[in-house]
Amino acid sequence: MTEYDNSNRATLGKNKYYEEGSRKPQYTGKGNFDGKDFDISAWIQTNKTTGEKFFSLSLQAPYVKPEVTEVQTDDTDLPF
């Protein structure tokens, strides 16, 4: 059996952290295009002229959680 190829595909689902009235995306997902991964954010918008609903999308590089570095303190420099 061959491994499934996820190239040039994406998924999108409801954002469980969305709060009504916030700027957070209503839908989020992940995708891959041309061998590069990306994150997707989506909002439901309404066309002001026709009233039709549509998705507004944002694509960005995948989020990488910053590494937490331990702060080094030197207690010998304290003036008291």
pTM over 0.85: no
The ranges assigned to domains in the chain are 9-62
Beta bridge partners, 27, equal: 14, 42
Question: Is residue 32 within 8 Å of residue 6, measured between CB atoms?
Answer: yes
Q: pLDDT tens digits, residue range 12-39?
A: 999 999 999 999 999 999 999 999 999 9
CA 6/CA 43 separation, integer angstroms: 24
Residue 58 confidence (pLDDT) above 80:
yes
